[in-house]
Structure 1
Amino acid sequence: MAWLTRFLSALAFLAIGILFSPETFGSKSDGGHSSRLTIFLKLSHLLSFATAWGAALWVTFIGGIIMFKNLPRHQFGNLQSKMFPAYFLTVGACGAISVATFGYLHPWKTASSSERYQLGFLLSSFAFNLTNLFVFTPMTIEMMKQRHKVEREENIGEEVGWTKNAEVAKVNPKLAAMNKKFGMIHGLSSLANIMSFGSLAMHSWYLAGKIQL
């Protein structure tokens, strides 16, 4: 239940922050209700974007590399097969919230050209994540399981940080064909993930220009 404790602690700090915010006690007569709604939508957008950005940064550039260098290759693959669906689902859900809140705050008919571009970036990130979640990730996992089976027959796959796969594939046409197909699918998945991350990076620049510190 440690995760629940951490979640409740985070909610408690968020509630305290809201309670002591000057906008919390705004007068309804001067548009306070509308202001509170706007702040709530901005908060939802910011937290969703930050969660998506942080998750993408960690999985793409930090966590995956650390696991690859320290886990047996098959164990690493099996772990990734459990993590990636959850990762893409989380980032996709955050992307949906970001798109919805930004679209509500900046209706298309009255939005400036830069705001329309930002909505496009958010939609692109969301679309790339959905593609990974429903297309590339299931294909990658299925292909990985098939390749693991062949590798176990060749007594390889338990290496840490390196692989005997390429060497064995030279004399095993079946494994060589699997490697080619897996590489193509995994490459497309990685490209979609990078494109999603890049779209979020573009939006981070926009948000930085709006924040007053």
Structure 2
Amino acid sequence: MGWITRFLTAVAFLAVGIIFSPESFGSKSDGHFPSNLSTYLKLAHLLCFSTAWGAALWVTFIGGIIMFKNLPRHQFGNLQSKMFPAYFSMVGVCCAISVASFGYLHPWKSSSTVDKYQLVFLLSAFLFNLTNLFVFTPMTVGMMKERHKIEREENIGEEVGWSKNREAAKVNPKLAAMNKKFGMIHGLSSLANIMSFGCLALHSWYLAGKIDL
């Protein structure tokens, strides 16, 4: 299925959802915002939050682990170098829209303490993703390419896992130093990603308390 077909399918389902929404059958506004504006902002917030949450869950705990365990290391690294900028960009945009819509629906001066905390959580998730996108990911990709070059000189990198790298690093100080530097930056990137995921998790608990099923 091509991208255009997927996009049109998503738009079609969204249109059907709007047609059968409560507002279409005469529900009134809550008194704070025009009914349509309030609904559209809530929809934007929900769709963008759920997209960011789902992407973070998959990349952090499922997709990345599966790829690492089943792909040659150099192939895995090259794939990650293409995937992570797109991942952090998408999650960052989704977080930005979530922050904007939530902030508009809950103005800071008139919001409760709970709502203010939620805005801080969403803003933190956005900032953690920006840090990864513009700071840690470029550094990680650059060091990865340098390490790949050293590993190719040692005729390693096509294995699955880390065993050959660790063995080669024991007799190659340059590779050992690169491993240490790469591990530090990659660890900071992973920490920022986990912190972003945690902030989104906290907001999911807030949304669950608001849903009337």
- One fold, TM greater than 0.5? yes
TM norm structure 1: 0.96
Deviation at 1:24, TM superposition (A): 2.8
Identity of matched residues, %: 81
Mapping for residues 103-114 of structure 1, pairs under 5 Å: 103-114=103-114
Q: Deviations over 1:47-88 (max 9, x none)?
A: 000000000000000000111111110000000000000000
Tell me if the contact between 2:74 and 2:157 (Cα under 8 Å) persists in the aligned partners. Answer: yes
TM norm structure 2: 0.96
Tell me if the contact between 1:96 and 1:126 (Cα under 8 Å) persists in the aligned partners. Answer: yes
Q: 1:63 to 1:28 in 2, by over 3 A?
A: closer
Q: 1:97 to 1:212 in 2, by over 3 A?
A: same
Give 2:22's aligned amino acid.
P
Equivalent position of 1:12 in the other structure: 12
Q: Counterparts of 1:33 and 1:190 in 2: how far apart (Å)?
A: 40
**Quick check: 22-31 or 85-94, which moved more?**
22-31
Computed over aligned residues only, the root mean square deviation of the Cα atoms, in angstroms, reads 1.8
Equivalent position of 1:77 in the other structure: 77
Mapping for residues 13-162 of structure 1, pairs under 5 Å: 13-24=13-24, 26=26, 34-162=34-162
Tell me if the contact between 1:124 and 1:199 (Cα under 8 Å) persists in the aligned partners. Answer: yes
Deviation at 1:162, TM superposition (A): 4.0
Q: How many residues align?
A: 213
Structure 1: stretches of 5+ with no match in the other structure: none
Structure 2: stretches of 5+ with no match in the other structure: none
Give 1:36's aligned amino acid.
N
Q: 1:209 to 1:174 in 2, by over 3 A?
A: same
Equivalent position of 1:165 in the other structure: 165
